[in-house]
Amino acid sequence: MTVARNPLLPGCYPDPTICRVGPDYYLVTSTFEYAPGLPVFHSVDLVSWEQIGHVVDRPGQLDFAGIGSSGGLYAPTLRHHDGVFWLICTLVTRQDDARDGNFVMTATDPAGPWSDPVWLDADGIDPSIFFDDDGRVWVHGTRLAREPAWHDQTEVWVRELDRRTMTLVGPEHVVWNGALKDVVWAEAPHLYKVEGTYYLLAAEGGTEFHHAVSVARADSVTGPYTGNKGNPILTHRHLGRESDVVGTGHADLVQAVDGSWWAVLLGMRPYGGYHYNLGRETFLVPVTWEDGWPVFAPGVGRVPTEVDVPFAGPVHLGLAQGGASGVVPPGDLRWTSLRRPAAEFASASGDGWDLTMRPTTLADPETPAFLGVRQQHMDLDVRATVRADLADGEDVGLAVRQSEDDHVRVFVTGTAGTASTDDTAGTDGTAGTDDEARRVVAVLRRAGVETTLGELTLTGAADAPVTLTVSARGQDYALLAGVAGDEPRPVAVADARTLDSGATGGFLGLWIGVYATSNGRPTATIAQVQRFEYVPAT
Each residue of 255-278: pLDDT tens digit? 999 999 999 999 999 999 999 999
pLDDT of residue 422: 35
pLDDT of residue 334: 97
pLDDT of residue 418: 42
pLDDT of residue 463: 86
Contact present, 283 and 338 (Cβ < 8 Å): no
How far apart are alpha carbons 386 and 75 in whole angstroms? 36
CATH topology of domain 2-321: Tachylectin-2; Chain A (2.115.10)
pLDDT of residue 424: 32
Tell me the sheet residues that pair with 266.
Answer: 249, 282
Which residues are identified as catalytic? 15, 187
Average the pLDDT over 504-528 and give the result: 97
- The pTM assigned to this predicted structure is 0.95
How far is C-alpha 477 from the chain's CA centre? 21
| Of 95, 115, 515, residue with least CA distance to 336 | 515
Instruction: Kindly give, in sequence order, each residue whose CB lies less than 8 Å from that of residue 312, ignoring residues fewer than 6 positions away.
Output: 2, 4, 45, 46, 47, 48
Each residue of 407-443: pLDDT tens digit? 999 999 997 544 333 333 333 333 334 567 899 999 9
Each residue of 357-406: pLDDT tens digit? 999 999 999 999 999 999 999 999 999 999 999 999 999 999 999 999 99
For the chain, the domains span 2-321, 326-536
Q: Kindly tell me the burial class for residue 417, based on how many C-beta atoms sit within 10 Å of its own C-beta (0-12, 13-18, 19 or more).
A: exposed
Each residue of 324-365: pLDDT tens digit? 999 999 999 999 999 999 999 999 999 999 999 999 999 999
**Rama region for 166: left / alpha / beta (φ>0; ψ in -120 to 50; rest):** left
CA distances for 521 relative to 296, 367, 389, 395, angstroms: 55, 15, 15, 11
Q: What is the DSSP secondary structure assignment for residue 113, as one 8-state letter?
A: P
Each residue of 186-243: pLDDT tens digit? 999 999 999 999 999 999 999 999 999 999 999 999 999 999 999 999 999 999 999 9
Each residue of 155-165: pLDDT tens digit? 999 999 999 99
- Average pLDDT of the chain is 94
pLDDT of residue 475 exceeding 80: yes
In the chain, the percentage of residues whose pLDDT exceeds 90 is 93
Average the pLDDT over 251-256 and give the result: 98
Q: What CATH number has the domain spanning 326-536?
A: 2.60.120.200
Each residue of 73-116: pLDDT tens digit? 999 999 999 999 999 999 999 887 889 999 999 999 999 999 99
How far apart are alpha carbons 470 and 477 in whole angstroms? 6
CA distances for 488 relative to 384, 439, 471, 529, angstroms: 12, 14, 11, 17
- Cα angle 263, 305, 230 (rounded to 5 degrees) comes to 50
